[in-house]
Amino acid sequence: MLDSVHEILRLQASGDATAVEIVRQSLDRIDAIQSALNPFTYIARNSAIAAATAIDRRRRAGEALGPLAGVPIAIKDVLCTRDMPTTCSSQMLKGFQPPYDATVVANLRAAGAVIIGKTNMDEFAMGASTETSVFGVTRNPWDLTKTPGGSSGGAAACVAAGCVPLSIGTDTGGSIRQPAAFCGITGLKPTYGRVSRFGLVAFASSLDQVGPMSWSVEETALLLQSIAGYEPRDSTSLNHPVPDYVAGIASYDVRGLRIGIIRDAVDSDGLGDDLRNALNQSVDVFKSLGAEVVDINLPNSEYAVPTYYVIAPCEASSNLSRYSGAHYGFRATNVDSKSPLGPLTATYCQSRDQGFGAEVKRRIMLGTYALSTGYYDAYYLKALKVRRLIRNDYDAAFSQVDLLLGPVTPTTAFKLGSKVDDPIQMYLGDLFTVGANLAGVPAISIPAGQDVDGLPVGIQLQAPALEESRLLLAAAAYQRATSHHTARPREFTGAAL
Amino acid sequence: MSASTTTYPFTIIIGLEVHVQLKTNSKLFCGCSTSFGAPPNTNVCPVCLGLPGALPVLNQQAIDLAIETGLALNCSIPPMTKWDRKQYFYPDLPKGYQISQFDLPICADGALDITDPADPESKRRIGIIRAHLEEDAGKSMHDESAGVAESRIDLNRCGTPLLEIVSQPDMRSPAEAKEFLTELKLLLTHLGVSDCEMQEGSLRVDANINLHIDVDGKTAKTPIVEVKNMNSFRAVERALVYEIDRQYLVWTETGATIELNPKTTRGWDDAKEQTFAQREKEESADYRYFPDPDLLPLRIPESHIENIRAQLGELPAETRERLQTQYDIKLYDAEVIVNQGRELIAYYEAVSEHCGDGRRASAWIQQDVLRTMKERSLRITDFPISAASLGELLRRVSKNELDTTRARDVFAFLWEHPQESVDEAVAALGIKSVDHSEIDALCDELLAANPQVIDDVRAGKMQAVGMLIGQAKKKNPNANPQLVRETLLVKINGK
C-alpha cells in the first residue's frame, strides 16, 4: 500500500483506511528500516499524525480535500520547513529551523500531503553517494553495502524501502535522477524555473531544481502537478501555465514521436554492459510502441562535467558565504581570542572550518579560486561560454527529435566508500546527467531492468524546456509496456507493505 | 578656496562617490519597510536577513527612481542592466555578498553643471561616470566603553536601495566639491528620489583627491587618497582643504608619488579637523564579482525610459533660468528661491503672478517669508499666509494703494489671522485709501504751516521734506508717504 498513491487515495475514499492509519504504517515502516538504511534526518512523528488527523476530520466533515490528501511524503532536508529542522545534512545547520516553508512544502501541505520527515543527503547537496552527511551514510535498500546514490539518496531510499510512495528531491547535476536509477524508482528533474526554488537552500542557483520521486511515472506526474508553477518570490521562476500532466499521459500513445538515442553515450567505454543492454532493449520497446528512434549526438557533451564543476562550485562558494557563524547556525566556540586574524576573522574561519565537511570545503575553495581576479576569465567566463555551446547542442538536437534517450549513470550503484576519497571518479559519474542542468531542460530517470547483481538500472529521457508532458507521456508508455518499475528490493519482499 | 587653487603651484584633482538612499517604500529585493529609526532588527525578513533558501525579487520602484535620477544627470540608460554579487565577509552583510552592479550599471556617462564658485556667473560641467544600484548593508555598533568590547548589529538598513553616483575627477577645488554636492542634493530632493539627509545616512560621500604638481615641465602626481566618514558638506570641504596641505607637505618631504603608492584610505576626524590613516587591508580586496544567478538581467524598454523622461518636468537649473527671464530677477535671487525646493518655487510664482511684480515678490519672500519660516521652523507648505493673500497684498503695494510700512502691518496681521483676507486685514487695521484731493489738502495745510521748508527745499535741502512727511503721517496714518513726498515736491517746485 505504501508504494502507491492511488491505493492510499482509494483506501481513504472507500473508508477502508484513515489517513492516521496510513501515516502510522508509514512511521512503523520508517522505524523498521531507519537504523539499517538511515534515509531520514528527521522523523516528524507528531506533526504527521496531527496533519493526518486533520485530514480525517475534514473528510468526515465532507470538506473538499487536496489531490494528495493523507498521502505521506518525505522532503529532502534542503527544503525549508517551518516546523522541522532544515539542516542540509551539515554540521553548519544542525538544529536550524527556518521561520518559513519553502514554496514546494507549502504547496504540498495545501494539496493535503502529510510530511513524514526530512531525508538524508550529501552535505549541501554536494555529492553523488549520500556519504558526506553529518548524520552518516544512507544505504541502498537493494544492497546495504551499496550507495543509494546522491545527493537525494535518502529521498530515493525511503521510497525504495517502502516508507512513503512520494518523495521530493533536488537535482543540480543529477541528484534526483542518479539516486532514482540506483534505487530502481522514477525521478524527474523539471525544466529550470518550472518549480519554485523559494525555500530551497541554494547550492548552485542557476542549476538547482526541485523534483518529484516515486515508483511510477503516473504518480510522478501527480506529484509534479502539485509543485509546479510560477512563484513571484523566485525571479527565475517561469511564468508559464502549468498543463495537466496527469491528463497528458492518459493516451500512452507515442506513435510518431521521434526519439534520439544519444549515440556517443551508448557507445561510451565508460558505460557498463548491463546498462548498454538495458538501453538497447528500451530502444526496441519504443520502436514497438510506434515511436521512431534515430541516432543523435551532443558534440560538446564531453565538456559538460568540467563545465559543471566550474559553474556549480563558483555559485556554491558565493551561496555558502552566508554560513559564517555570525547570525545563525553553527558557531565555533573554541576560537583563539589571541589569533593574529583578530576575533572576527578567527570566528569566521573556525566556524566554517568546523561547520563544513571536506567536500563542501573543497567546492568552496574551487569556486573561490575560479572567481578570483586573474582566473575569472579563464574559468568562470569560459565555463559560461561552454555552457552556451552545450545549450546550443540541445537546441540543435531538439530541432531534429522530440526527446533524447540515453543512460543516467555509467554504472549501477557502487560500493559505499569506493569513491568518496576520489572526487574525480565521483564527479565523472555525473557525465550523463549534468547536461540537462546546464541546458535547463527536463529529464527523467526510469527503471529499465537490473544488472547481473540484481541492482536496478535506469534509463534517461530528456525533453525540450517546458515539455514535461511529452517526457512523462513517453516514460509512462514505456512503463506500461514493461514491468521494471514494479520490481521491489528483495530484502523487503513479503514485508508488511 | 578659489584663491587657494590659484596660489598653489599645482592642480587639485577631486572626484566624488556619492551614495544616496532611494526613497522607495520597500527595500531593493524584499517587501520590508525602508523607514528610518525603527527599533533594531524589526524591518527584516528572511530575504534581507539572508536566511537559507530566501531569494531576492527586484523592486521596480527603485529601478524607476534610478532611471529618473540618471536622466536628470544627463546619463544614458542602457537597454540592459544586470546584477552582480560583491563578496566579502562582515557581520552587517548577512548573505556574505552585496547585490550590486559591476560592469553594466543602470546609468552611465552623464554630467551635472554647477556654478563656478570662483565665478558665480559661469558654470562648470562635472562628468558623471556612472550611477549603479546596490543594496545597503546593516549597521554595526561597537561599544568599547569600560572594557566591554561589545558589537551589536542592526539589520534594518540591510537591503535598502542605494544609488552610487560616481563623478569624473573633474573638480578642481574643495569649494567645487561642495558646490557639486549642493547641486546634486538640490536635484535629488527636487526629484523626490532621496531625502539626502547626511545625518540619517541617506546621503554618504567618499572623496578622492590628489595633486598634480608641475616639476620642471613634468607632472608629479601625489597618491590618491579616498577620504571617508564626513558627515556634512562643510566637512567634505574642510577635509579636502586639509588633504591638499597634507599631501603637498608629504610630497615636499618624501617625494612620494602615485607610482609608489597608488591609493590609500583616510578617515576625517571632525573634532580634530584632520584626516587620519585608516587601517589598510594587507592585500587589496578581491570582491570576486560575478553575475547574481538569482536575478535575471533586466531589460529596460526604450518606451519606459521615455515615459520617465516625459514626467521629469523642469529641473532646478532650468527653473533658475526661467525665473530670471520670466520674472526679471537676478541669478542670486533665482538661486535662493530654487534652492528652497519645489513648493517655495510654486509659492513664489503664484505670488508673482498675482501681484505682477516678480522682483517685489522675490524681495518679500526672501526678507519676510523665509525669515519668518526660519524663525518659526516652518515649511512653506505650512506657512499661514497663502500665496493669493501675499500676492494681493503686494499688488496693492505696487499700485501705491499701500505703503510698505502698512503692508508689513497687514502681513503681520495675516500671520496672526490666516483666515482673514487682505481686505479684512486692511479694515481691521483701520487702513483707508486716501484719495488725491485729501493728500492735496493735507500738503497745502502743511506747507502753509511750514513756509521755511519751501525755502530749504528750493535751497537744495531735500531732507526738509522728511519732516513734513512725518507730520502728515501723524495727521493721517493712511497717507502714503511716497505720495505725500511727491505731492509736496510738485507743490514746492511749482510755486
The label of the residue with cell 521512431 reads A292
Q: Provide φ and ψ at B71, rounded to 5°.
A: -65, -40
Q: Cβ contact (<8 Å) for B87 and A321?
A: yes
**Contact (CB<8Å) B46/A322:** no
Average pLDDT, chain B: 91
CA distance B286 to chain A (A): 7
Task: State the pLDDT at residue B431.
Answer: 81
Active site residues of A: 76, 151, 175
CA distance B362 to chain A (A): 52
In this predicted model, what pLDDT tens digit does every residue of B364-414 receive, in sequence order? Answer: 999 999 999 999 899 999 999 999 999 999 999 998 888 888 899 999 999
A202 vs B97: CB contact, 8 Å cut-off?
no
Contact call for A197 and B296, based on CB within 8 A:
no
Residues in chain B closer than 8 A to A381 (CB atoms)? none
In the beta sheet, which residues pair with residue B81? Answer: B298
Is pLDDT of B282 > 50?
Answer: no
Chain B residues in contact with A234 (beta carbon < 8 A): 55, 57
CB contact under 8 A, B46 and A376: no
Q: Hey, are the CB atoms on B89 and A324 less than 8 Å from each other?
A: yes
Interchain CB distance below 8 Å, A328 and B293: no
Residues 6+ apart with CB under 8 A from B373: B379, B380, B383
Beta bridge partners of B277: B266
B214-219 contacts, C-beta under 8 A, 24 or more apart: B214/B9, B214/B10
pLDDT at residue A118, rounded to an integer: 98
Do the Cβ atoms of B46 and A318 come within 8 Å?
no
Helix/strand/coil for A462: strand
Report chain B residues whose CB lies below 8 A from the CB of A320: 96
Please enumerate, as own/partner, the contacts of B273-281 that have beta carbons within 8 Å and a separation of 24 or more: B273/B238, B273/B242, B274/B242, B274/B246, B275/B225, B275/B227, B275/B239, B275/B242, B275/B243, B275/B246, B278/B228
Predicted confidence band of residue B438 (pLDDT cuts 50, 70, 90): confident
Q: Which residues of B touch A317 (CB under 8 A)?
A: 288
Measuring CA to CA, which residue among B165, B170, B98 is closest to residue B131? Answer: B165
The nearest alpha carbon in chain A to B50 belongs to: A322
Q: Nearest-CA neighbor of A9 among A75, A70, A73, A61?
A: A70
Q: Which residue has the cell 576520489?
A: A422
From chain B, pick out residues whose CB is under 8 angstroms from the CB of A201. 52-53
Other C-beta atoms lying within 10 Å of the C-beta of residue B182: 14
Cβ of B89 within 8 Å of Cβ of A321? The answer is yes
Look up cell 618631504; give the residue.
B253
Distance CA A87, CA B53 (A): 12
At B406, list the grid cell.
Answer: 502698512
Among chain B residues, CA nearest to A197: B53
- Measured between beta carbons, which residues in chain B are less than 8 angstroms from residue A102? 53
DSSP bridge pairs for B204: B19
Nearest-neighbour CA in chain B from A470: distance (Å): 27
Residue of A nearest to B91 (CA): A326
Q: Which three cell numbers stand for residue A394?
A: 540541445
DSSP at A100:
S
Is B54 within 8 Å of chain A by CB?
yes
Contact of A323 with A329, CB cutoff 8 Å: yes
Q: Residue B69 — pLDDT band, cuts 50, 70, 90?
A: very high
> How many residues are given for chain A?
497
> Among all residues of chain B, which has the CA nearest to that of A101?
B53
Neighbours of B289 (CB within 10 A): 18
Of how many residues is chain B composed?
A: 495
Under 8 Å between Cβ of A195 and A228:
yes
**Whether B378 contacts chain A with CB within 8 A:** no
Shortest CA distance from A314: residue in chain B: B290
B125 phi and psi, to 5 degrees?
Answer: -100, 120
CA-to-CA distance for A210 and A464, rounded, in angstroms? Answer: 17
Specify burial of residue A232 (Cβ count, 10 A radius: 0-12, 13-18, 19+).
exposed
Confidence label for B439 from pLDDT (cuts 50, 70 and 90): confident
> What's the CA gap between B404 and B410, in Å, rounded?
10
Q: Is the peptide bond before A151 cis (omega within 30 degrees of 0)?
A: yes
- The answer to whether B96 faces chain A, any CB pair under 8 Å, is yes
Shortest CA gap A330–chain B (Å)? 13
Alpha-carbon distance A406 to nearest alpha carbon in chain B (angstroms)? 29
Contacts of B288 in chain A (CB under 8 A): 317-318, 368, 371-373, 376
Q: What is the pLDDT of residue B125?
A: 98
**Residue B45's pLDDT band (cuts 50, 70, 90):** very high
List alpha helices for A256-404, DSSP H. 263-266, 273-288, 304-319, 343-355, 358-370, 382-398
B46 touches chain A (CB under 8 A): yes
Cα angle A282-A285-A290, degrees, rounded to a multiple of 5: 130
> Is residue B83 within 8 angstroms of chain A, CB to CB?
no
Q: Are B69 and B24 in contact (CB under 8 A)?
A: no
Task: State yes or no: pLDDT of B190 exceeds 90.
Answer: yes
Output the nine-digit C-alpha cell for B420.
482673514
Low-confidence ranges of chain A (pLDDT < 50): 493-497
The size of the A-B interface in CB pairs under 8 A is 95
> First vs last Cα of chain B: how many Å apart?
60
B425 vs B147 pLDDT, higher one: B425
pTM value is 0.90
Phi, psi of A263 (to 5 degrees): -60, -45
Identify the pLDDT of residue B284.
61
End-to-end alpha carbon distance in chain A: 6
CA atoms of B185 and B165, how far apart (whole Å): 12
Whether the predicted pLDDT of B113 surpasses 50:
yes
Pair B247, B222: CB distance under 8 Å: yes
- Pure H helices in A198-303: 217-227, 245-248, 263-266, 273-288
Please tell me if residue B49 touches chain A, with a CB cutoff of 8 Å: yes
Q: Which residue of A has its CA nearest to B94?
A: A322
User: How confident is the model over B359-367, as a mean pLDDT?
Assistant: 95
Q: Does B286 touch chain A (CB under 8 A)?
A: yes
Report the chain B residue with the minimal C-alpha distance to residue A367: B288
Percent of the residues in chain B that have a pLDDT greater than 90, as a whole number? 71
Assembly ipTM: 0.95
**Contact check, Cβ <8 Å, B91/A326:** yes
In the predicted structure, residue B2 carries a pLDDT above the cut 50: no
Among A428, A174, A398, which Cα is nearest to A302's? A428
The answer to whether B55 contacts chain A (CB < 8 Å) is yes
Chain B contact set for A204 (CB, 8 A)? 293
Q: Which residues of A touch B51 (CB under 8 A)?
A: 98-100, 328
**Beta carbons of B57 and A197 less than 8 Å apart:** no
Q: Does B295 touch chain A (CB under 8 A)?
A: yes
| Phi, psi values for residue B481, rounded to 5° | -60, -40
State the best of B58, B89, B292 to mutate against chain A, taking most chain A CBs within 10 Å.
B89
Contact A233 B91 (CB under 8 A): no
DSSP result, A107-133: HHHHTT-EEEEEE--SGGG--SSS-S-
Contact B46 A371 (CB under 8 A): no
Q: Quickly tell me which residue has 554630467 as its cell.
A: B111
Q: Which residues of B touch A80 (CB under 8 A)?
A: 52-53
Residue indicated by cell numbers 525669515: B371
pLDDT per residue as tens digits for the range B193-245: 999 999 889 999 999 999 999 988 899 999 999 999 899 999 999 999 999 99
Residues of chain B contacting A86 with CB distance shorter than 8 Å = 52-53
Task: Tell whether the torsion through CA atoms of A32, A33, A35 and A41 is positive or negative.
Answer: negative
Query: Sign of torsion, CA B422 B427 B428 B431?
Result: positive
